[in-house]
Structure 1
Amino acid sequence: MKKILVVDNQISTCELLQKFLSQKNFEVETITQGNPALNIIKKRHFDIIISEYRLPDIGAVEFFEKVLKIQPEVFMIFMSQEVNLKNAVDLIKRGAFNFLTKPLHPDELLEVIQDCDKLKTSFSPEASFANKQPKSRENGKNEEFGFVVGESKEALEMINLIKRVGSTNFTVIIEGETGTGKEAVARLIHKVSSRCNKPFIAVDCGSLSKEIAGSELFGHEKGAFTGAITKKTGLFELANGGTIFLDEIANLSPETQMGLLRALQEKLIRKIGGVDELPIDVRVIAATKEDLIVKSGANCFREDLFFRLSEFILKVPTLKQRISDLPLFIDHFLQQTSEELKIEKPLLSEEVKRIFNRYEWPGNVRELRNVIRRACLFIEADNCIYQNALPKGLLDALVPIEENGLSKAKNERYAVNRLDEGADTDLKSAARQAELTRIMEVLHKVDFNKTKAAKILNIHRKTLYSKLKVVNLAY
């Protein structure tokens, strides 16, 4: 259980955070002054310290420096009603993990705490660049930030590209399907860069509406719009000197895209409702599951922004494309989940191993992780995971083993010919024939990727499997 110390001069804040974090299974202590907090820190170990910036008895910088001398590996999160940019940046440069604005949003606080848990190294200023390099593990694994690199050809090529672009200040577009680990790749790029000791801020652009995107990214002045009762520091300001990761960037509105383009070209931002322009030094890494070239051609994404972002494009392979790495991912997630649940690391039955190798994993590494976590709740007495522990949806979508030794091509010809031979002359039969022909055309175009085919055909993947089963083509 993670231990958290909350330091805030307002008793109400202490009580609120203690109640919320305790419900999330954290062990929480609270105190209202800095010097007594230092005495507690000398006696007890804490994983995370959440502290008000303006403590009544000691300055934030002095308090932070003394904390680091006592517990150099602790993650320090500061908070304040009104964030002064210079103070926030100064503390982050000294090694603070984050600086949050009050009133705190529970989901945001929890996400920051979870990010602390992902990191294996301290952000203290004494940490050297060499210590920030990804560390090789046995069996070709690299588990920095919970990300397994793997040892397949595709994985090694990706890591080589990460090292090459990481040492530069190029803007990067990371392309990849949902669940492939695009944020983990962005974190590795940041980790091998000269900015590794500076902030890394991840932004889910899909959650930013047109109305709030500009405020979240660039900040706003007090009174800039209805509800802007205080001045807000934008994420670009907080990331100054470091890296900002814009996930699913295709979701940004045209207005926000324009502000982003200006930030990239001029290295200047302007708060909503503000007049002054603020200089920034931020490396931008964007991620997308969509084709931005197609989006720009359809006037959904600015072409000039695409070309500004695409100084380097890195494509993350799907799990199916690097299936030889599957055992490494399975082993990692089994170990991770067993530690979380405090149980002995389970084993997979041979039956489950075969199922995992035959499944197409449309949700990629994220889906595998979720399947493993769920399965670990249904371990049998012999500490083994069997088929009954797997989700029904996975089993329903499973690729059947080809029967009678027929190859894909033979099965296709057999199925089409069988439909032709038995076809009637009515419109219903003709429609079935046309439907199958269209399905086969699309499957050939996408190299028999059922998920992609279903999207193109605008039907659910299960519907596609059902239609293929009719003619014995659900391989």
Structure 2
Amino acid sequence: MKEILIIDKEKSSALALEKLLVNNHYTVTMTSTAKDALRLIENKFFHVILCDTRLNDIPEHDLLEQTLHIRPGSVVIFISRYVNLRLAVDLVKKGAYQYMEKPLNPNELLEVLSKSLMEKETKPSDSAPRQKKSNNRSFHSTDYLTGNSAEAKKMMSQVKKVGSTNFTVIIQGETGTGKESLARMIHDESPRRNKPFMAIDCGCLSKDLAASELFGHEKGAFTGAFSNKTGVFEMADGGTVFLDEIANLSLETQMALLRSLQEKVIRKIGGVKEIPVDVRIITATNEDLFLKSNKGYFREDLYFRLSEFILPVPPLRERKVDLPLFINFFLEKTAEELGVATPTLSEEVTAYLRDYPWPGNIRELKNVIRRACLFISDDNYIYINGLPENVIKYVDNTLQTRAAAVEELPEAPEEEAPDNMALKTAALQAETKKIMEVLQEVHFNKTKAAQKLKINRKTLYTKLKMLNIPY
């Protein structure tokens, strides 16, 4: 049985965790202090160490460092009731396997444990500290970040399910969410993995060139066709063709594509011979193809032929819990590229990255981090001058709007309330003002605000919605 060490000063939380793990056939050892934990780690090997943050005797960073020194390659998972983005980034950077928020989702925790143990078993040895995390990457060779949020896990589960099939797939998501990387992962999961993967951006193809790029042409087929050309479909025979931004194809090209999918043959422009091809089609779009087909801008029959499986990709703003992993990954990659030590983000920079909505998604985050790494200070920190102006302006304007909302709140009546209704109104106004003051004080960090107000985050969000406070 696998050995798990729980380090948690909250006895009720530790006992609940122990019960869950024992019921799932793990052997559990518990302690409430870091010092006791280090003694246990010296004398016994634990497959996974679950460690609460904010222990009273040893800081998280020191405990992690000493654990990895004693047992190089240990799987250390930090758990916390109060998520701290900067702390999460630092701990993962220094070798922690993951950072999870309490209360823990039982299924999510068991999945993380299973994944971490499987990864350890596939590694040749544990002789070196686990400094670079494979869980930040896809399960194959690409640099796509999968993340650990519920949204990311659901998406990756779907990738694995459809990957082993021969279904046509529509990957639907905003610009910058990594649709091509997902297409490559689907290909890598398929029986076609050892065959070609050909990607083509339909957005940069003119009406005249699209058919030539896809199906090829014969010499002299049109002006400028000075030689025979082999199209993407023929080159990818046996493999996968990825059509990015497929909504940009002309209706005429869509008709030719539909025929090739149905008949499994292509005909080059200017040619008379039909060439058999066996390809899997994966498409991507940032538009609603079903809506476009209803309006006549996309062939309805082609849509239904392509949509055997639709894979939605969540935008970054809906999976902010993955930000620490993404930030750490891009910091490490850029530092490696520049030949410098991996920098640390200042608290102010961390707050700006957290509050920014990332309309350009992961691609925009990558570019922002790469730019920031050009402004590493002498103390190896990145400060506010490392962020682009549009990020700073957006967050500052948002804060000003929220502050203005506080000022516009009506004052509570100074005279004694004449009835219960007036008394309730005064109490509501006072509560609204208090919530906004605390939010401003903590830079609109909802977790910290809830902590200061001594309520949980769900209650805080309910109150914000009820009081019509912008958030």
Q: Secondary structure at the match of 1:366?
A: helix
Q: For residues 393-404 of structure 1, what are the structure 2 equivalents within 5 Å?
A: 393-398=390-395
Q: Distance in 2 between matches of 1:413 and 1:249?
A: 48
Whether 1:253 aligns to 2:250 is yes
Q: Distance in 2 between matches of 1:369 and 1:404?
A: 28
Q: Name 1:345's counterpart in structure 2.
A: 342
Q: Distance in 2 between matches of 1:405 and 1:268?
A: 59
Q: Name 2:186's counterpart in structure 1.
A: 189
Gap change, CA 1:401 and 1:255, over 3 Å in 2: closer
Q: For residues 461-472 of structure 1, what are the structure 2 equivalents within 5 Å?
A: none
Q: Distance in 1 between matches of 2:277 and 2:310?
A: 23
Instruction: Provide the aligned length of Structure 1 versus Structure 2.
Output: 283
Gap change, CA 1:212 and 1:474, over 3 Å in 2: farther
Q: Name 2:136's counterpart in structure 1.
A: 141
Q: For residues 253-272 of structure 1, what are the structure 2 equivalents within 5 Å?
A: 253-272=250-269
Contact 2:149/2:322 (<8 A) preserved: yes
Gap change, CA 1:231 and 1:403, over 3 Å in 2: closer
What TM-score, normalized to structure 2?
Answer: 0.57
Whether 1:225 aligns to 2:225 is no
2:331 to 326, 334, 340: 334
Q: Secondary structure at the match of 1:314?
A: strand
Shift in Å, 1:404: 11
Q: Name 2:308's counterpart in structure 1.
A: 311
Q: Distance in 2 between matches of 1:405 and 1:295?
A: 37
Gap change, CA 1:474 and 1:397, over 3 Å in 2: farther
Shift in Å, 1:332: 0.5
Q: Distance in 1 between matches of 2:265 and 2:170?
A: 21
Q: Name 1:302's counterpart in structure 2.
A: 299
Provide runs of 4+ in structure 1 moved above 6 Å: 403-406, 410-413
Q: Secondary structure at the match of 1:197?
A: coil
Gap change, CA 1:348 and 1:223, over 3 Å in 2: same
Aligned residue identity for 2:374: L
Shift in Å, 1:157: 0.5
Q: Secondary structure at the match of 1:345?
A: coil
Gap change, CA 1:405 and 1:300, over 3 Å in 2: closer
Unaligned regions of 5+ residues in structure 1, if any?
1-129, 132-136, 416-472
After superposition, the C-alpha distances for 1:231-286 in whole angstroms (9 at most, x for unaligned) are 00000000110001000000001111011101111111100001011111000000
What TM-score, normalized to structure 1?
Answer: 0.57
Q: For residues 378-397 of structure 1, what are the structure 2 equivalents within 5 Å?
A: 378-397=375-394
Gap change, CA 1:182 and 1:190, over 3 Å in 2: same
Q: Distance in 2 between matches of 1:372 and 1:338?
A: 10
Q: Secondary structure at the match of 1:398?
A: helix
Shift in Å, 1:412: 12
Contact 1:177/1:318 (<8 A) preserved: yes
Whether 1:367 aligns to 2:344 is no
Q: Name 1:198's counterpart in structure 2.
A: 195
Gap change, CA 1:411 and 1:244, over 3 Å in 2: farther
Q: Secondary structure at the match of 1:284?
A: strand
Shift in Å, 1:293: 1.1
Unaligned regions of 5+ residues in structure 2, if any?
1-121, 124-131, 411-468
Gap change, CA 1:414 and 1:290, over 3 Å in 2: farther
Contact 2:402/2:470 (<8 A) preserved: no
Q: Name 2:280's counterpart in structure 1.
A: 283
Contact 1:254/1:302 (<8 A) preserved: yes
Q: Distance in 1 between matches of 2:372 and 2:212?
A: 42
1:356 to 353, 357, 360: 353
Gap change, CA 1:358 and 1:308, over 3 Å in 2: same
Contact 1:359/1:399 (<8 A) preserved: no
Gap change, CA 1:399 and 1:308, over 3 Å in 2: farther
Q: Distance in 1 between matches of 2:401 and 2:213?
A: 59
Shift in Å, 1:166: 0.2
Contact 2:246/2:284 (<8 A) preserved: yes
After superposition, the C-alpha distances for 1:106-150 in whole angstroms (9 at most, x for unaligned) are xxxxxxxxxxxxxxxxxxxxxxxx99xxxxx84732243111111
Contact 1:400/1:474 (<8 A) preserved: no
Q: Secondary structure at the match of 2:395?
A: coil
Contact 1:201/1:244 (<8 A) preserved: yes
Shift in Å, 1:405: 8.8
After superposition, the C-alpha distances for 1:53-103 in whole angstroms (9 at most, x for unaligned) are xxxxxxxxxxxxxxxxxxxxxxxxxxxxxxxxxxxxxxxxxxxxxxxxxxx
Q: Distance in 2 between matches of 1:307 and 1:332?
A: 38
Contact 1:215/1:272 (<8 A) preserved: yes
Aligned residue identity for 1:140: N
After superposition, the C-alpha distances for 1:272-321 in whole angstroms (9 at most, x for unaligned) are 00101111100000000001111111211000000000000000111111
After superposition, the C-alpha distances for 1:143-172 in whole angstroms (9 at most, x for unaligned) are 431111111100110110000000000000
1:240 to 222, 237, 241: 237
Q: Secondary structure at the match of 2:243?
A: strand
The percent of aligned pairs where both chains have the same amino acid is 59
Q: Distance in 2 between matches of 1:288 and 1:182?
A: 8
Shift in Å, 1:393: 1.1
Q: Secondary structure at the match of 2:199?
A: strand
Q: Distance in 1 between matches of 2:277 and 2:401?
A: 65
Q: Name 2:445's counterpart in structure 1.
A: none
Q: For residues 393-432 of structure 1, what are the structure 2 equivalents within 5 Å?
A: 393-398=390-395
Q: Secondary structure at the match of 1:397?
A: helix
Q: Distance in 2 between matches of 1:474 and 1:260?
A: 47
For the aligned residues, what is the CA RMSD?
A: 2.6
Q: Secondary structure at the match of 1:196?
A: coil
